[in-house]
Each structure stands twice: as structure tokens, then as C-alpha cells.
Structure 1
Amino acid sequence: MTFRDLHRAGDPLLLPNAWDYGSAAMLAAQGFPAIGTTSLGVAAVHGKPDAAGATRAETIELAESMKDLGVFVTIDIEGGFSDDPAEVGELVAGLAALGVAGVNLEDGRPDGTLRPIELHQRIIEAAMGHGVFVNARTDTAWLKTGDTLERVRAYGHADGVFVPGLTGLAEIAEVVEATDLPLNVLYQPAGPTLAELAGVGVARVSTGSLLYRAALHGALATLLAIQDKAAPAVPSYGEITAILPAPSSESA
């Protein structure tokens, strides 16, 4: 069984996302065959901004620590930590040497824009050929900009495609029909169930930052319970990013 084999339309891989070695080891011990990383969690653990290219070293370090867990590991490398295809290819090759099975490569930028399609196509191409499953992520739905189907079709030379932010089953089914690649979506507690996503042909369902945010909520709830106080709801992605340092000119 390869990592690619776990992507089955109609029988999706549920991919939990870890943020440090401890969370990854805990998930591996539960028998999940593959574990991803969450860039938000990694950034927050190290006091850095998410999706700003600031955690390249920390991401590689986490990947190296996870290599002996006995599961497939796929790493969120944001946009590749560079706009230079050659540098992204070198990064992916290095991760492949560590035994990493997959990477996520996103086209969203910290300023809310999307990387030009042609540039992201070249970056995807540079990431291919290293024996790593390249999951091409487009942030059209996440950032509410651009044409999702245009991007999905443009990234057809990748191994898989990831469109976080999709919530309606009809729009998800439309994306499934628009590509021959396995579709990855982000699980959202208020959105479709795993069974419903399977029913429209989704091949992979990631938890993204949800587990990290739930862990923070659990810690706060435990503390406040000592004072007989109720905890607030699980923090949103935006609430976590709001308390992180702003991107610097070097990392953005």
C-alpha cells in the first residue's frame, strides 16, 4: 500500500494534522495510516505568522522528527517557502530524502492574493519527480478570489488537488467532476459529514488546524473548570492568527 493508494474517491482518507512530535506520535498510536502537518499549528508553536514563509526550518525539523513513526507523513510547506521553482524543488527533494510521502503546495499569498497560475504551475512541476505525492492546493474558496475550476484544471499535472473552504456538496461535486485528480477538502464541523463527502467522490479529508485549535480549547477548558468557569468556543483560524506576530518583510 502506497500513500497514493489511500486516496480513493468515495472512500476518502481521513487525514489528521499534527503540529509537533507529540501530537503526531499520539495520532500514529491511534492507528491512522497517514498524518499531515498544519502550518498554523507549527507557526503558533514557534511564535511565528502562518502562511508567510516564516517556518521553513521548523517545518523541516518536524518532518525529520516524524520520519520514524511508522506512518505516511505529508507536510504542509505553504507555498514552498519560495517563488523560485528550483528552490521549491530542492526543498521537496530534501523532504523526500527524509522519507516524507507527500507535500501540500498552496497558491495563496499572505496579502490575500493568489500566486499567478503560470508560476504555480512551474512550482508544482519542480516539486514533481522526487517520489513525493504533490497535493496542489488552491485558495480560491479560502480567500474568496479567483476561479476555482480554472485553477484546479491548471494544476492537473500534480498528484492531487486540495481546495480548502468548500462547504456545499454541490460545489464540491462540481470540482470532483472537473478533474481526474483525487480531491482533498477540509473538514469543517458545521459542514458536510465524512459520509456525505464520500458520497460526492471526495478522496481525502484533512482536519487542517482543527485539532490544534481544539487542543488549545481543551487546555483552556480544563484550566477554567478549576475555577468553575465555562470555556469559550473552540477558537477559529482567524482568532489564532490574530494573536500571532505579524509577518515581517523578510518572511512575507
Structure 2
Amino acid sequence: MTKVEAFRALHRRKAPGDPLVLPGPWDAASARVFVEAGFPALATPSAGVAASLGYEDGQTPADEMFAAVARIVRAVDVPVSADIEGGYGIAPKELVERLLATGAVGCNLEDSEDGALKDPRAHADWLAEVRHAAADRLFVNARIDTFIRPPGAADPKQAAERAIERAALYVAAGADCVYPIGAPTDVLPLLRSGIQGPINVHGTVTGDGPSPTELGELGATRITFGPGLQRRAAEALREIAAGLTK
């Protein structure tokens, strides 16, 4: 079984309360820590990688992002999916080839740009081009930004309805999974009832939100954490650094 086949198989849930949990490494060292902890696959967060490279979220040059992903992939022997934001304006065929060159088996692709939602049909057409170029070599996770961008961001129910509409277009275009980022917990059952296929949900690293098991029971297929783990690690490092002078 290839790594991408193994990655796809991990998304076939054995039970509603058994979602795939994918920690997000920001460099090779953190990737090794997660693999040593027993996680079967990883998913890089663009914001966490940006922070490790000294950039603000969304400001990482494409070349540096691909190089960072390649270092993470090289450091571990489990499948790695990469958050490559909106694709950096690269044509689908080149985007796919550059991603495959890193060794990644999947990618996140978001449907907003410059703070605004993209036209869903145009974005679906673009995703279809990515799928055609990738064939079965990549697992495509289509991020849906209706909960974090206007007009739906202020109305969770409206955002959920828009997310379901977009998800149908993206799945039809060949997306393997959809990621309604920022979706409140109470709308997950609605999303689950209206979306075909795997759903990615954002988990918490602070212990003050639903557990992965609880999120799975509400409809999540897989759990990722965005830059949360990198930020938590940075907080721990600040505490260590402060203690060095005492």
C-alpha cells in the first residue's frame, strides 16, 4: 500500500467516536515528536510553519513553504498532508507537481482570498483541475471559509447552509474531504447531515473544548489543530526562557 492509499484508508472511520486525529508539525523536530507519540499521519498548518520561518500567517513565499514541507516529510516515515493555503497563484498542474516533489500525500486548499470568499463554482472548477492533475496521487482537503468570512461569519446557521452548498460543489469536483473551518460545535450535526464524505473539524489543544471523541460523535471524520500546537509550544518555551534568568 502506498502512503497516499494508507492516508485515504485512515479516513474510513471504524466508529463515529473514532475520528482520525492529525497533529500539525511546524518543523522536522516537532514532526518526529508526534510520530514518536504514535500518530499514524500528520497535517502541517500553514500558520504554524509560517511562524517557524519568521513570517506572518499568509505571508510565506511558496518556495519556502514547499521547502519546509519537504523537510518535515523527509524527517518521518508516516503520511504527511500539507496546508498550502490558496495555492499561491500557481497553475494546478505545476502546483500538484511541486507538492508531490515534497513527498506530501495530501493538501489543504482554502476557498477565500484577501479576506473574502471566492466564487464557489469558479473555485470548484479550479479544484477539478487540481484533481485532474493529481489523479489519485493526492488527498485533497477543501477548506470552506463561510464561518470565518462575511457574510455568513456572523450567522452560524447561514454559514452552515452556505458550507453545505459549497461542499457539494467541491466533492463533485473531486475533493476527498471538506474542512468547514471555524464551525461551532452545535452546527456539526447539521453539517454532517448535509455533507457527503469526510469532514475535517478544528480541535482544541487547551482542554477547554470537546474532545476528539466528542467531535467524532458529532460528525467529524478527522481532527486538525491549525497552529494551536505550535503556539502552545511557543508559550511553554516562553515560560522556560523566563525561568532561565531566575
**TM-score bracket for the superposition, by shorter chain length:** 0.7 to 0.9
Between Structure 1 and Structure 2, which shows a larger proportion of helix residues?
Answer: 2
Q: Provide the residue aligned with 2:184 in structure 1.
A: 167
| Structure 2 gap ranges (5+) | 153-161
Are residues 1:140 and 2:140 paired? no
Aligned twin of 1:207: 225
Q: Residues 19 and 213 of structure 2 are in contact (CA less than 8 Å); yes or no, is this contact kept in structure 1?
A: no
Q: What TM-score results when the alignment is normalised by the length of structure 2?
A: 0.83
**Aligned partners of 1:191, 1:109: CA distance in 2, in Å?**
29
What do you get for the CA RMSD once the two structures are aligned?
1.9
Q: Which moved more, 1:89-98 or 1:191-200?
A: 89-98
Q: Among all aligned residue pairs of Structure 1 and Structure 2, give the percentage whose two residues are the same amino acid.
A: 34
Conservation of the 8 A alpha-carbon contact between 2:116 and 2:150:
no
1:42 counterpart residue number: 49
Count of aligned residue pairs for this structure pair: 222
Q: TM-score, normalised by structure 1?
A: 0.81
Pairs within 5 Å for 1:4-153: 4-9=8-13, 10=16, 11-52=18-59, 54-68=60-74, 69-82=76-89, 87-110=91-114, 112-129=115-132, 130=134, 131-146=137-152, 147-153=162-168
Deviation at 1:63, TM superposition (A): 2.1
SS in 2 for 1:27: helix
Q: CA deviation at 1:150?
A: 1.8
Deviation at 1:62, TM superposition (A): 1.7
Structure 1 unaligned runs (5+)?
Answer: 229-252
Q: Is the 8 A contact 2:201 2:220 kept in 1?
A: yes
Deviations 1:97-144 (A, max 9, x none): 44311100001223x211111221122112214210000001111235
Cα displacement (A) at 1:50: 1.5
Runs of 4+ in 1 over 3 A off after TM superposition: 225-228
